[in-house]
A and B are shown apart, each in its own frame.
Chain A
């Protein structure tokens, strides 16, 4: 059986376009056909909010020549709106382009559309999108995860082999796990945040989705690099990521016990056990390790992220961007605009963030959270200093939950329990499919030292190779 070109991986598509075996516009047409098919009907996946026109100047060169890519709606692009899944920025088109989007374009990629997301990236299911939730392509009654759920669903549905998302606490890895695709959060500073609409600046970063480890590695290499437009972009040597499968001989992989609590879904635990065996079979030595402050990560994250969001979202005031609701005086205009423009979760986080920064509460909450963040970072430093080169954990405590199943905000926050630590510590992390339970994908998470994406991808390639078709069963 011939595999459709769109499913052969980004490198194969690009080679076919460069060698003129297929035109970029034909690839775009195939991707657009998938988009229409997957979005049809009341249970359409609703992954894409706005759809691009076919490329007018068809790319014929570049490592991503003619490869369709989807980009999250909080990453600035020139040709489509950047609404951040919010009413307050509905129809807003950026006058400049995110560095990561520009790099994909310059590599020859064709933008297929901007993808759905929880409003301003605050959420874990896309249910906080002002434009309605996306659906998981594996079971359309379930959430694709979030906040980058639209990008994950678009890749899982085969619309694009590569998509960009953003991470603040796991918003690429969690939806990647739920949708059975690869999701990469590079080291903080590896990929420019220029053009990524800010949520929590000390945690935010652009991440990559791929159908395979190779697609994800290719795209992550392309979007990486120092950018003078982002003051937190790191001037470091590029890391080799597209290294291909190999053995794990000599590699020590830590398995932190705090990520395997008694409450872990038994089916997730069982898939992780199989993945550990696969890593061992590839030559790795697995070692039981401890990251003792892990249980404090969610409280720390949900103080720091809302605090930073309350400052970053102050700019959406009816004067500078997007919608304006007139009121009796300028203060009433601000309040009416923000009340009408922001949804419930964004409002909740702005209130929470303002509260923990306000006089009388700053030391008890914000300062304390910053101190404990340092302890979480120190946990990672200590474990990597002990001779461990990578870590393996489940990406999420459960497979994808049903849309509408979680109404308590804090219960929703707990779905990030295994992912927020990497953002707090700034280390690279990625999710790789490791199997299915009742048709629902399960993700395994690989973490590595700051700027050591090479080791992270080395483990990911080996795991994908070892599990083979088992990861899709």
Chain B
């Protein structure tokens, strides 16, 4: 399962990471080097196959609760209007309405 330059370009795209072309070969080599040490896991058969992957990780209900902010939202937001944050507009948002 050797990692190719196209694989690195693909996962970099998924992760929204800009990777310069001249750094690509280095990451390909390093990822292949690291993943070669992971192959040892493939030798674990039988008992591992039957093990549920999420056993033992008990989580409680994820309920929304207020976050105890020490600084009011209004103080660290660039601007607010009607309870909403107004953030710096992105270059592609020409049709997003008025400037904050």
Contact = CB atoms under 8 A, between A and B. Distances in A.
A202 B33 CA distance: 25
Interface string B16-49: 1111100000010011011101101110100111
Given A348-B27, A355-B3, A364-B1, A371 B44 contact: yes
A317 interface: yes
Interface stretch (A137-145, A324-332, A451-459): A324-332
A183 B56 CA distance: 26
Contact of A410 (B20, B33, B76): B33
Contacts, number: 150
A453 B40 CA distance: 33
A299 interface: yes
Nearest to B65: A228
Contacts of A413: 34
A229 B55 CA distance: 23
Chain A at the B interface: SS class: helix
A65 B63 CA distance: 35
B12 to A, nearest CB: 6
- Contact-residue bracket for chain A: 35 or more
Contacts of A262: none
A330 B92 contact: yes
B71 to A, nearest CB: 4
Ranked 3 nearest A-B pairs via Cβ: A339-B18, A335-B18, A370-B53
Interface of B: 1, 3, 7-8, 10-12, 14-20, 27, 30-31, 33-35, 37-38, 40-42, 44, 47-49, 51-57, 59-62, 65, 67-71, 73, 75-76, 87-88, 90-92
Interface of A: 78, 95-97, 202, 228-229, 231-232, 293, 295-296, 298-300, 302-303, 310, 314, 317, 319, 324, 326-336, 338-339, 342, 347-348, 350-352, 354-355, 358, 361, 364-365, 367-372, 374-375, 377, 408-410, 413, 426
